[in-house]
Amino acid sequence: MRAAAVHTWFMVGRQARNLMREPIWIALLLVQPMIWLLLYGQLFKRVTHLPGGGFGTTSYIEFLAPAIVIMNAFFGATWSGMAMVSDLDRDVIPRFLATPVSRVSLVVSQIVRSALTALIQGIVILLVALALGVRVHAGVLGWVVVLLAAMLMNSAFAGISQGLALLTRKEATMIAIANFIGLPLFFLSSTLISFRQMPHWMRELGRFNPVNWGVVAAREVVLPGADWASVGLHLALLAGLTVVTAAFATWTFRVYQRQL
């Protein structure tokens, strides 16, 4: 268990160091979420005044900011398996398998790296939102909840992405699957618009959408009058999903090993 934790730390360090050598990647990592925030923020500015409401605030940017943190964590996660595909392609994984390295750490480190990226992006988005006049009404605890929701959101889907990477081992397939699940789950959530503005069937479907669990939890603590029971429930749902998908990812790793 201790070896697994230490080895995960080594492997996260490896990935982080490699990413730090990519200035364009870092720039996009920081700039892109801001573009979403500013673009959507302007585009949908007036929707908070729609009859039927349900936004809980008149400031659309305040409604949007926590959801952008989650959306960004979600989309980041759907791509996280690409690093695994490239490690498999280049036989980095088999090389490690001939050492006593913890097997679990090879998969878990990818998920942790992905979640840490979501964390950093989340902080940046919240800071930009702050500059745009957004207030996190639940204070410091609110920040913690938003960032925790983002990391859980990311981990849950990173687990699926890692599993698919290990099963398919093909970048093209990974891209197709990421697109196939990414956009529908995004639009079936209340990221951009309040649930009350959606058709009934979408609302019902959306309740089972993990992306929405993250959006609800994060938004509750940003807008005034947080419903802590709802926050707790949705965070717990995300945590449960993360456990399940991490188990899926480690199972696929065993499948991969059996094929060697």
Partner 1 sequence: MSRNVHRTPTASEVPPNPPTRLGGVDAIVAEGLEKRYRDVRALDGVSFRVRAGEVFGLLGPNGAGKSTTVKVLTTLTTPDGGRAEVAGHDVVRDPNAVRRSIGYVPQSSGVDRDATGRENLMLQGRVQGMSGRRLRARVQHLLDLLGIAEAADRVVRGYSGGMKRRLDVGLGLVHGPQVLFLDEPTTGLDPEARAAMWDELAVLAREELLTILLTTHYLEEADVLTDRLAIVSRGHIVVEGTAEELKGRLQGEAVVVELADGAIEDAAAVVRALEEVREVTSDGRLLRSRVADGARAVPTILGALDARGIAVESVTMHRPSLDDVYLHYTGRDFRAEDEAGGGGEDE
For binding to partner 1 (CB under 8 A), which residues are involved?
7, 10, 13-14, 17-18, 21, 87, 90-101, 257-258, 260
Of 116 and 181, which CB lies nearer to partner 1 in the complex structure?
116
d(CA 104, CA 140): 33
Helix axes 103-131, 2-20, angle to 10 degrees: 50
Of 106 and 153, which CB lies nearer to partner 1 in the complex structure?
106
Confirm if 32 and 19 have CB atoms less than 8 A apart.
no
Residue with tokens 């500059």: 131
CB neighbour list of residue 226: distance below 8 Å, 6 or more residues apart: 137, 138, 142, 220
d(CA 55, CA 85): 41
Two tokens, residue 73: 């964590």
Of 7 and 113, which CB lies nearer to partner 1 in the complex structure?
7
CB of 33 to partner 1, least distance (A): 24
CB of 19 to partner 1, least distance (A): 8
Of 14 and 137, which CB lies nearer to partner 1 in the complex structure?
14
Q: How many residues does the chain have?
A: 260
d(CA 222, CA 111): 26
Q: Write out the DSSP string of 87-98.
A: HHHTTHHHHHHT
CB of 104 to partner 1, least distance (A): 13
CB of 75 to partner 1, least distance (A): 23
CB of 251 to partner 1, least distance (A): 18
Of 74 and 256, which CB lies nearer to partner 1 in the complex structure?
256
